[in-house]
């Protein structure tokens, strides 16, 4: 029986060396890993490739060589016989993984990571070897879990014997590894941004993405702008602390084209490669300055028909109808005043954009409506105009001429202000021909930008100039009569609709109390307007004060909560016990530097000023259990709460016996409800 067992073992070992070379697969929890070789046998002094194969379940993924904002790269720790060495991992092109504001670079599905193995010439050809490796990696989905596994792969030493099935798989994996070609690049800090200039790209290598190998050179969560140039391409990115704390002399980056091809480009920081003038991108790439000016003019003309402009344009039309059969000179003065308001606004708009781009900013059409306070003020203004159109209030002539209340009343100042307001509310809309023209303008010189925006403004104002100068058009307008009062009142409702739309925009931009502040402002404005309609100086004073308060609500509106470093202490069971003995709430954050969900929650909720105020107000002890490095105590605590990975958030309320487990995706409201 013993001899039979020995013979069976020998037969099994012989079969292992004679057939496919792969380790036994190891299930690490959410991934199956194994080592695969295309060689059953390799001679001394040769090189061959072994690949780590990872197959992820569902949506789980791991991290590339540069993990991005969060995560850690796959790590293979080799245990090799004497005379055998392993090279670095040959990385395939990554995929962008975005969770909230966190941007990471990952690998998913079935991933092959080839590694070159070198055999010394002194190896005994009659003695097989065993390649041993311990693989450490993170897998993430809604949570991140560290996984690892030990692998063992026997290899025969002797005449070359390939396994064609595995060799073909490894060859296919190696074909996906980005290689170096003729492309080269430079990187330099310009106006607070890192500017990458890259030349000698392969033919038809279109709209590539940039993935620096070094981390953290760039801030991955900030947008990376791409531009085509005469002799190369340019990327503009925000620097990260890896750049600020000592600029590297050189590093490499992987570029992935739109068709999936990828190359490795050496980047130097001590030279600046000239790529010539930048070319417009997208729909503006194939138009010249004349076409851009004409497109802007036509776009401005059509912009009058867009929904967001209709309420203001209607006011100007009402004003024209009132004066259409009056003095021709006054009509033309009003038309030119309106045109001046439009042109001045567009030129100021262009100058601001040019200045912000020169300072390294990323702005575009309609950028001013990214400011919550301005959105709130516009909503309040349109509400007031609606009340005026309904006849709820009428102000004296001197006040009317300021142009901010009865914008449709006529007069040069009123017409000028109508033009200004029309431009402000027009920018959320785009019209045909505009996209290419504005894109061309923003990618061109300052003079070209000003010309294009001026053409846009002139097209926008032209209909009212034509009506003022063509008698037949004036004569075709209806004569003033009772219909004008009804039409004037009707125009109040588009104003209210525009005010509501802006309020909805504000609800997505501002803090939780943004909408509340706007509603208080509407109340204060309405109250002030009512008091101004009453007799008596005291009522007038209180009314003006109320209106000032209404304006103050939007002006003091907080932008999205600023980042803050919330005071915390390291977690331990004793720290929890001590804080609970003092009858204090305790918030425990089980986190890790490689946990993408943790970083999202930290960026959006935990490291914010209002959270710091909440913890201070409730006297909450904030404890952090950092699982970035292996910690058996933290692992045991996670297991105690039924978790295999992070994040885990616990709240211990005074008087409560057990901890409350919060959701893995935090919000400020969830945290506030749990602590108050």
Domain count, the chain: 4
Cα gap 385→387, rounded to integer Å: 5
Question: Which has more pLDDT, 67 or 510?
Answer: 67
Q: Are residues 83 and 58 in the same domain?
A: yes
**For residue 672, what pLDDT is reported?**
92
> Which tokens is 84 given?
């055998």
Strand partners, 209: 256
Which of 124, 146, 175 is the last residue before a domain boundary?
175
Of 331-345, 350-364, 655-669, the least confident = 350-364
533 found inside a domain: no
Give the predicted TM-score (pTM) of the model. 0.59
pLDDT at residue 8, as a whole number: 43
Contact call for residues 278 and 436 (beta carbons, < 8 A): no
Q: What is the mean pLDDT of residues 598-616?
A: 87
What pLDDT, on a 0 to 100 scale, did the predictor assign at position 327? 67
Average pLDDT over residues 112-133: 94
More confident position, 424 or 157: 157
162 & 23 share domain: yes
- Shared domain for 275 and 288, answered yes or no, is no
**Euclidean distance between CA atoms 149 and 419, whole angstroms:** 69
Burial classification of residue 61, based on how many CB atoms lie within 10 Å of its CB (0-12 exposed, 13-18 middle, 19 or more buried): buried
Widest CA span in the chain: 122
User: What is the CB-side half-sphere exposure of residue 67 using CA atoms within 13 A?
Assistant: 20
Query: Given a cut of 50, is residue 20 above it in pLDDT?
Result: no
Higher pLDDT, 565 or 443: 565
Query: Mean per-residue pLDDT for 460-478?
Result: 73
Q: Burial level of 187, CB count in 10 A (0-12/13-18/19+)? A: buried
Taking the C-alpha atoms of residue 525 and residue 522, their distance in angstroms, rounded to an integer, is 5
The whole-number average pLDDT for the span 135-153 is 92
Whether residue 34 is found in the same domain as residue 159: yes
442-464 per-position pLDDT tens digit: 666 678 788 888 888 888 888 87
Distances (CA, A) of 467 to 460, 473, 475: 13, 5, 9
pLDDT of residue 19: 42
- Sorted by sequence, the CB contacts under 8 Å of residue 396 that are 6+ apart come out as none
The reply to whether 322 and 347 lie within a common domain is yes
Average pLDDT of 138-161? 92
Higher pLDDT, 564 or 30: 30
CA distance 302 to 314: 15
Residue 505 lies in a domain: no
CA torsion angle for 368, 374, 376, 380 (degrees, to 10)? -110
Question: In this structure, are 121 and 164 located in the same domain?
Answer: yes
Q: Taking residues 375-395, what's their average pLDDT? A: 78
- Out of 5-14, 226-235, 258-267, 428-437, the most confident range is 258-267
Mean pLDDT of 331-349: 85
Question: Which of 248, 279, 310 delimits the end of a domain?
Answer: 279
The percent of residues in the chain predicted with pLDDT above 90, rounded, is 35
Helix (H), strand (E) at residue 661: strand 660-662
Polymer length of the chain: 676
- Residue 138 · residue 147 · CB < 8 Å: yes
The residue whose two tokens read 């599905």 is: 109
Find the mean pLDDT for residues 61-81: 93
| Cα 256 versus chain centre, distance | 19
Sorting pLDDT into bands at 50, 70 and 90, what band is 404?
very low
Residue 284: per-residue pLDDT: 45
* 650 close to 659: Cβ distance less than 8 angstroms: yes
In terms of DSSP bridges, do strands 262-268 and 278-279 run parallel, antiparallel, or are they unpaired? Answer: unpaired
Under a CB-based contact definition with an 8 Å cutoff, are residues 474 and 318 in contact?
A: no
Q: For residue 566, what pLDDT is reported?
A: 84
On whether both 104 and 249 belong to a single domain, the answer is no
Cα distance between residue 44 and residue 293, in whole Å: 71
202 lies in the same domain as 324: no
Q: In the prediction, which pLDDT does 147 show? A: 93
275 & 307 share domain: no
What value does the mean pLDDT of the chain take? 81
- Of 378, 465, 381, the residue nearest 424 (C-alpha): 378
Which has more pLDDT, 15 or 585? Answer: 585
Neighbours of 276 (CB within 10 A): 11
Is residue 424 a contact partner of residue 345, using CB atoms and an 8 Å limit? yes
Q: 567-601, pLDDT tens digit by residue?
A: 899 999 999 999 999 999 999 999 988 887 888 88
Instruction: Please give the Cα distance from 504 to 541 (Å, whole number).
Output: 32
Asked if the structure places residue 529 within a domain, the reply is no
Which of 106-110, 187-191, 651-655 is the least confident region? 187-191
pLDDT tens digit sequence for 292-331:
788 788 877 877 776 656 666 666 665 665 555 556 777 7
Instruction: Please indicate, yes or no, if residue 516 is contained in any of the structural domains.
Output: no
Q: Is the dihedral of CA 396, 398, 404, 409 positive or negative?
A: positive
Task: Select the highest-mean-pLDDT range: 70-79, 416-425, 432-441.
Answer: 70-79
Out of 151-160, 371-380, 447-456, 474-483, pick the least confident: 474-483
Q: Which residue has the higher pLDDT, 82 or 389?
A: 82
Q: Examine the pLDDT at 212 and tell me if it is beyond 90.
A: yes
What tokens were used for 302?
């059509």
The residue among 244, 279, 314 that closes a domain is 279
- Please report which helix (H) or strand (E) contains residue 505, including its range: helix 492-509
Q: What is the pLDDT of residue 245?
A: 66
Mean pLDDT of 85-94: 96
Check whether 237 has a pLDDT greater than 80: yes
Q: Helix, strand, or coil here: 170?
A: helix
Quick one: DSSP state of residue 333?
Answer: H
Rounded CA-CA distance 456/434 in Å is 8
**Can you give the pLDDT at residue 364?**
53
**Two tokens at 80?**
């090799």
Instruction: Give the pairing type, strands 39-42 and 161-162.
Output: antiparallel
Which residue intervals of 263-371 are DSSP H helices?
Answer: 289-303, 310-323, 328-358
The confidence score (pLDDT) of residue 389 equals 73
Higher pLDDT: 384 or 483? It is 384
Percent helix / strand / coil, the chain, rounded to 5: 45, 25, 35
Say if residue 254 is in the same domain as residue 403.
no
Residue at 638 is within a domain: yes
CATH code: domain of residue 24: 2.60.40.680
Facing residues of 187 across strands? 196
Examine the domain organization and report whether 171 and 271 are in the same domain: no
Those residues with Cβ within 8 angstroms of residue 253's Cβ, 6 or more apart along the chain or in another chain: 185, 196, 210, 211, 212, 213, 264, 265, 267
Radius of gyration of the chain (CA): 34
**Is the residue at 216 inside a domain?**
yes
Q: Is residue 545 part of a domain?
A: no
User: For residues 259 and 637, what is the distance between their CA atoms, to the nearest angstrom?
Assistant: 46
259-273 tens-digit pLDDT: 889 999 999 998 889
Greater confidence (215 vs 512) lies with 215
Mean pLDDT comparison of 87-96, 349-358, 531-540, highest-scoring range? 87-96
Bridge partners of 85, per DSSP, are: 118
d(CA 133, CA 54): 14
Structural domain for 583, as ranges: 569-675
Q: Kindly give, in sequence order, each residue whose CB lies less than 8 Å from that of residue 177, ignoring residues fewer than 6 positions away.
A: 90, 91, 92, 114
pLDDT digits (tens, 9 = 90+) for 503-539: 877 776 665 567 788 888 889 988 988 888 888 888 8
How many helices (H) and strands (E) in the chain?
Answer: 21, 28
In a domain, 512, yes or no: no
Return the structure tokens found at 635: 């692992």
Q: What is the CATH number of the domain that holds 219?
A: 2.60.40
| pLDDT at position 16 over 60 | no
**Chain center to CA of 22:** 42
> Does pLDDT of 554 surpass 70?
yes
Average pLDDT on 145-155 reads: 94
Please state at what angle helix 412-426 crosses helix 310-323, rounded to 10 degrees.
160
Residue of 451, 450, 472, 470 lying closest to 462 (CA atoms): 470
- Report yes or no: 273 and 429 within 8 Å, Cβ to Cβ: no
Instruction: Find which of 270-279, 402-411, 556-565 is predicted with most confidence, using mean pLDDT.
Output: 270-279
Q: What is the DSSP letter of 595?
A: -
**Where is pLDDT greater, at 316 or 141?**
141
Mean pLDDT of the 194-204 span: 93
pLDDT band at 2 (very low <50, low <70, confident <90, very high): very low
Distance of CA 136 to the CA centre of its chain: 30
Q: Which residue has the higher pLDDT, 365 or 674?
A: 674
Binned at pLDDT 50, 70 and 90, residue 440 comes out as low
Higher model confidence: residue 285 or residue 185?
185
Nearest CA-CA partner of 357 in 289, 288, 298, 278: 278
Q: Tell whether 461 and 581 lie within a shared domain.
A: no
């Amino acid at each position: 029986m013993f001899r039979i067992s020995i013979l069976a073992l020998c037969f099994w070992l012989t079969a292992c060396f004679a057939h496919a070379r792969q380790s036994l697969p190891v299930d690490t929890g959410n991934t199956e890993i194994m080592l695969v070789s295309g060689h059953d046998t390799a001679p001394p002094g040769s090189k061959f490739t072994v690949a780590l194969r990872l197959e992820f379940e569902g949506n789980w993924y791991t991290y590339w060589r540069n993990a991005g904002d969060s995560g850690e790269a796959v790590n293979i720790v080799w245990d090799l016989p004497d005379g055998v060495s392993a090279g670095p991992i040959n990385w395939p092109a990554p995929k962008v993984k975005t969770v909230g504001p966190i941007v990471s670079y990952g690998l998913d599905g079935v991933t092959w990571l080839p590694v070159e193995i070198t055999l010394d010439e002194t190896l005994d050809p009659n003695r097989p070897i065993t390649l041993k490796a311990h693989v450490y990696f993170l897998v993430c989905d809604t949570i991140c879990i560290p996984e690892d596994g030990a692998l063992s792969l026997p290899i025969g030493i002797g005449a070359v014997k390939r396994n064609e099935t595995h060799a073909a798989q490894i060859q296919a994996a190696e074909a996906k590894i980005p290689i170096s070609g003729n492309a080269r690049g430079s990187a330099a800090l310009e106006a607070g941004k890192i500017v990458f200039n890259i030349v000698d790209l392969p033919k038809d290598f279109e709209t590539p993405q940039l993935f620096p190998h070094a981390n953290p050179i760039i801030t991955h969560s900030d947008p990376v702008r791409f531009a085509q140039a005469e002799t190369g391409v340019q990327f503009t990115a925000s620097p990260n602390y890896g750049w600020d704390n000592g600029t590297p002399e050189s590093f490499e980056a992987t570029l992935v084209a739109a068709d999936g091809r990828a190359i490795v480009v050496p980047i130097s920081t001590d030279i600046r490669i000239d790529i010539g003038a930048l070319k417009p991108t997208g729909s503006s790439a194939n138009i010249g300055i004349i076409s851009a000016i004409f497109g802007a003019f036509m776009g401005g003309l059509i912009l009058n028909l867009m929904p967001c402009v209709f309420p203001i344009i209607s006011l100007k039309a009402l004003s024209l109808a009132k004066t259409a059969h009056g003095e021709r000179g006054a009509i033309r003065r009003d038309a030119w005043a309106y045109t001046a308001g439009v042109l001045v606004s567009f030129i100021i708009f262009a100058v601001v954009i040019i200045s912000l781009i020169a300072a390294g900013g990323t702005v575009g059409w309609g950028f001013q409506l990214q400011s919550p306070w301005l959105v709130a003020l516009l909503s309040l203004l349109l509400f007031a105009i609606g009340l005026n159109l309904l006849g709820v209030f009428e102000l004296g002539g001197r006040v009317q001429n300021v142009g901010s209340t009865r914008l449709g009343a006529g007069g040069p100042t009123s017409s000028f202000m109508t033009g200004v307001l029309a431009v402000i509310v027009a920018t959320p809309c785009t019209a045909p021909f505009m996209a290419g023209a504005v894109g061309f303008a923003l990618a061109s010189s300052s003079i070209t930008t000003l010309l294009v925006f001026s053409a846009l403004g002139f097209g926008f104002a032209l209909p009212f100039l034509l009506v003022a100068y063509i008698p037949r058009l004036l004569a075709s307008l209806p004569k003033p009569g009772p219909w004008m009062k009804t039409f004037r009142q009707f125009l109040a409702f588009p104003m209210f609709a525009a005010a509501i739309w802006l309020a909805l925009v504000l609800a997505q931009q501002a803090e939780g109390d943004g909408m509340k502040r706007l509603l208080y402002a509407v109340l204060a404005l309405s109250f002030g307007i009512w008091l101004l309609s009453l007799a008596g100086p005291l009522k007038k004073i209180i009314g003006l004060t109320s209106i000032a308060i209404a304006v103050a609500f939007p002006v003091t509106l907080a932008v999205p909560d600023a980042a803050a470093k919330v005071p915390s202490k390291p977690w331990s069971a004793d720290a929890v016990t001590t804080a609970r003995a003092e009858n204090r709430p305790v918030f425990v954050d089980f986190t890790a530097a490689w946990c993408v969900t943790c970083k999202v929650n930290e960026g959006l909720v935990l490291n914010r000023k209002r959270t710091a105020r909440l913890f201070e107000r409730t006297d909450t002890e904030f404890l952090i259990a950092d699982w970035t490095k292996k910690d058996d105590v933290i692992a045991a605590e996670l297991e105690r709460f039924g978790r295999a990975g992070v994040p885990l958030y616990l709240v211990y309320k005074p008087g409560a016996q057990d901890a409350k487990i919060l959701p893995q995706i935090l919000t400020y409201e969830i945290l506030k409800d749990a602590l108050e």
